[in-house]
Amino acid sequence: MANSLRGVLPIVPTPFRADGSVDLSSLGRLVEFAVGRGASGVVYPGVASEDVQLTTDERQEALETVVRVAGSRLPVLAGVNAGAPEEMVALARIAAETGVSGAMAMAIPAMGGETEAWFHKISDALNGGTIILQNLFAPRGADLNAAQMLDLARNVPAIRYVKEEGVPSGHKVSQLVGGADGILDGIIGGGGARYLFEELERGAIATMPAIELLELHVALLRAYGGHNRARAMEIYERTLPLLLVQAPFRMRMTKLILKHRGLIETDIVREKLPEMDAALQGLVIEFYEKAMSVLEMADA
């Protein structure tokens, strides 16, 4: 998969039925939506999929659904993150058996001083699959610095990309891009795309946000890649009110918009998050419709 991960690689959320079970039908619709709206690949499950709230069986069945619906049309990257490194190795083995293109794996505090050894085990479990190293701040992630990430990638050849989730992310993106030659195929922006424009300016080649703003993010990257910086900036500015709301409410906002669009049946989340009252929900939909209207404007 070298040099192939560019553009928008959305994290597919996990929809739930009214009884709280995983809604595989809605999950399939979300994958079709990603295919039809210009995603370069899909990621499942990630933090935005409420991955740690899923049982192993739920993760496997949902991932199988994503792979089956995507078919050969899009690469599927499996998130293998868990609270313990041995669980990550087991999930990587399951992912490989499912037929994914690669995996996203986070360096976690529980790996201690054995991070490299654990990533070798994850690589072996993937049986040749590409690894995207996800770097998240504590307490969930190990919050590696750029030199540590480059050393890890140098010593674990399966690591071909880094998804940097730092807040702020810019300086690490620059450091990673500057040191990536011969070690990494590219740097991917994270953090819900809140810092996407800066990440592009610093050399990121892709973004891996939640899925509800997919068309906006696709249009933004296409404009930027086509050297229409002003248009890319215009689209980015339209996303910012939504991304401010998304920061604390996360999947609640994602699922509110997806339900508004008729892509999922409920906006139920398992993650413990603050509630959105009716006033905020209405404002989010207003922000969303205004943001989407920018796509109807002729390119500058």
Q: pLDDT tens digits, residue range 74-128?
A: 999 999 999 999 999 999 999 999 999 999 999 999 999 999 999 999 999 999 8
Is the pLDDT at 28 greater than 50? The verdict is yes
Closest Cα partner for 96 from 67, 57, 56, 62?
67
Band of the pLDDT at 1, cuts 50, 70, 90?
very low
| Torsion on CA atoms 109, 115, 117, 120, rounded to nearest 10 | 110
Mean residue pLDDT across the chain: 95
**164-209 confidence digits (pLDDT tens):** 998 888 999 999 999 999 999 999 999 999 999 999 999 999 999 9
pLDDT computed for residue 151 by the predictor? 97
pLDDT computed for residue 298 by the predictor? 53
Percent of the chain predicted with pLDDT > 70: 98
**198-225 confidence digits (pLDDT tens):** 999 999 999 999 999 999 999 999 999 9
Is the pLDDT at 2 greater than 50? The verdict is no
* List of residues 6+ apart from 23 with CB closer than 8 A: 15, 16, 17, 264, 265, 266
**273-288 confidence digits (pLDDT tens):** 999 999 999 999 999 9
Asked whether residue 208 is marked as a ligand-binding residue, the answer is yes
Yes or no: say if 210 and 33 are a contact pair by the CB < 8 Å rule: no
Strand-pairing partners, residue 103, are 78, 131
pLDDT computed for residue 4 by the predictor? 79
What architecture is domain 7-214? Alpha-Beta Barrel (3.20)
